Chain A
Amino acid sequence: MAAFVWLTILTALRILGRNRLRAGLTMLGIIIGVGAVIAMVSIGEGAKSAVKKQIATMGTNVIIIWPGVTTASGVRSAQGGAVTLTVADALDLKKKIPLLSDTGWSKRDVRQVVYGNRNWNAPINGISPSYLTIRDWSFSSGGPFTQADLESAARVALVGQTVVESLFEAGEEPVDAVIRINNVPFRIIGVLSPKGQSAQGSDQDDIIFIPFTTAERKVLGTLFLGSVGSVFASTDRADDLPEAVEQIREVMRARHRLQQEQPDDFTIRTQVDIGKIQEGTGHTLTIMLFAIASVSLLVGGIGIMNILLVSVTERTREIGVRMAVGAKRRHIVMQFLIEAMTLSLFGGALGIVFGLVGAKLTTIIAGWPTIISGDVIVIAFLFSLVVGLFFGLYPANKASRLNPIDALRYE
């Protein structure tokens, strides 16, 4: 049997070698299908890992609480605009929920920043010192402000890389420089290490941090003291996140005196949730790409079936001779199946090569990160094998059902 299979493979290779153009055209569908799968999955995986890295820049085990109900349909309960998140909420959460390692808060708006004869419109974030640790910000020079700075509403600022680049000459030291935000002078005490793009695609380094109290009193203004834009919290372990979210919800509902039937007047998101949203987008893309690949593989499979049917007709006499000298039905079936699979495997192998080259070119030309996974290559290869097998079955079966006498007489 082994000898038979081996010889049949050799025969198949020889026959395909004789009709190279025909075989190449037949394989085109498989090549495109498999190539598309490989290239697209590589790009998708690359994008996914980039997003993962971006989400990691948010901090570790971060929970974010926003005010208001952010429903997609836009229907909000008429709670009255005055009810928002406050510093007291953040402090109370930390006191009441031991799972939370820390809580912080921020208030954010864009203001003009001036240094010397340069100016820049930067998002100004008034924050609690804890915010910096929760979000994992580190410093390339200088250092953070303190609780004392917060309490005294000190005019100190931390600046991100983008801001530094916009306001300072290359090589100029920003620390201890005095900038004016909204015409209020601030001394820079720290330069933040760069974080790059956020998962949403915004530049995280285009930022200025100032103490929250300074922000609400001197820069951003406020409806009432202590109202914040968002509250941040973190847990020590990622596994604690769901439980922490539940407890935050309970405490917040109690603090905001919400009745049983009233919806939350805040939204809680964890880092994991945000990751999932991003993955969801990637997922839709992946499904679409797989649809395209499936169609190409289907077309490729039909191409293989078509060419095999032609081959069966062309070689009717040969089939008759083989039957006359003792080929059983399964021998004939196997011969054509092996031919089909040789075609599809060759196509698959070429497709893998094209896919890998395509992925590489995407990285080089478009600068998108790509990740080549061995799994996908194996799956693509197996898939082309299955396509060959499936679409080879009908022609192979047709060949094996020929009547030897008619086949021998076929002109």
Chain B
Amino acid sequence: MPLIVCEDIWKIYRIGDVEVPALRGLSLTIEQGEFVAIMGASGSGKSTLMNILGCLDQPTKGRYRLDGVEVEQLRHDRLAEIRNRQIGFVFQSFNLIPRTSALENAQLPLFYRGLSLKEQRAQAAAAIQRVGLSGREHHYPTQLSGGQQQRVAIARALVTSPSLLLADEPTGNLDTQSSREIMTILEGLNREGITVILVTHEADVAAYASREITIKDGLILSDRATKARSHEVGA
């Protein structure tokens, strides 16, 4: 069963009396364990697609099945639960909570589960270790470099062991060296079986992915495998 099945997805924004379609009947299937780069110019609809895939937004029309669950009709709180259990987010601007330690930032998703404090701490510490930031658990975001902040954000995304990791231009605010580190981590996570979907407009970042989808005017312009899937799960 594919992880993501989108069928004829429309997203129409209404600005006054004018209807502006951001997605126009887009269909897409992504298997478990894929590493997909979504590319496109700004205004192409790729951010809208990411929001829908991430269950932050719902399509105006069409069906979206995530891991077999129809999500387009779900209520706000049910979506929050799905985001909490299945999806990890990495943003361009890191979006760490200010003046809160790296460990507590990584702990945040567990905050909304019924876990004991001790368990939350342990899992968050493990996630911090996984992104190579051991020893910096108690640093505040301002005490960390951009690359380190993004690694905290990745730790936060993977602390819940999600099946899907959505990265919206994760290297957009980083220098080349940090970008490479971040992409290496994402690549590693993908190798462990997590499906990674990446929005970028940098070709060298997209090159880490095994599939490249280009979006234009709310539709898929091209969809091609860029390299052999060396680590497909259940294929």
Contacts and interface: CB of A to CB of B under 8 A. Distances in A.
Interface of A: 1, 3-4, 6-7, 14, 18, 317-318, 320-331, 404-405, 408
B95 A326 contact: no
B228 interface: no
Given A1-B114, A7-B111, A328 B83 contact: no
B111 A4 contact: yes
Contacts of B120: 3
A331 B109 CA distance: 12
Interface residues of B, number: 30
B203 interface: no
Nearest to B166: A324
Given A408-B91, A408-B95, A326 B109 contact: yes
Interface in B90-149: 91, 95-99, 108-109, 111-117, 120
Given A3-B120, A404-B56, A405-B57, A326 B114 contact: no
25 contacts: A1-B114, A3-B114, A3-B117, A3-B120, A7-B111, A318-B97, A318-B98, A320-B95, A321-B95, A322-B97, A323-B56, A324-B54, A324-B56, A324-B83, A324-B89, A325-B108, A325-B112, A326-B80, A326-B109, A326-B113, A328-B80, A405-B51, A405-B56, A408-B91, A408-B95
Contacts of B117: 3, 6-7
A331 B98 CA distance: 19
Given A325-B89, A405-B56, A408-B91, A18 B76 contact: no
B65 interface: no
B112 A326 contact: yes
A3 B116 contact: yes
Contacts of B77: 328-330
Contact of B80 (A4, A318, A320, A327): A327
Given A4-B111, A325-B84, A325-B108, 12 more contacts: A4-B112, A7-B117, A18-B99, A322-B108, A323-B83, A326-B80, A326-B81, A326-B84, A326-B109, A326-B112, A329-B80, A405-B51
B85 interface: yes
A324 B54 CA distance: 9
Contacts of B115: 3
A326 B76 contact: no
Contacts of A323: 56, 80, 83
Interface string B67-86: 00000000011001101110
Contacts of A4: 111-112, 114
Contact of A321 (B85, B108, B116): B108
B211 interface: no
A326 B85 contact: yes
Contacts of A331: 112
A41 to B, nearest CB: 40
Contacts of A18: 99
B91 A326 contact: no
Interface in B151-180: 156, 160
Contacts of A1: 114
B109 A325 contact: yes
Nearest 5 pairs between A and B by C-beta?
Answer: A326-B84, A325-B109, A328-B77, A326-B112, A328-B80
A235 to B, nearest CB: 68
B111 A329 contact: no
A77 B156 CA distance: 91
B63 to A, nearest CB: 20
A3 B113 CA distance: 9
A324 B157 CA distance: 10
A334 B215 CA distance: 40
B201 to A, nearest CB: 18
A323 B89 CA distance: 11
A7 B156 CA distance: 17
Nearest to B89: A324
A347 B229 CA distance: 61
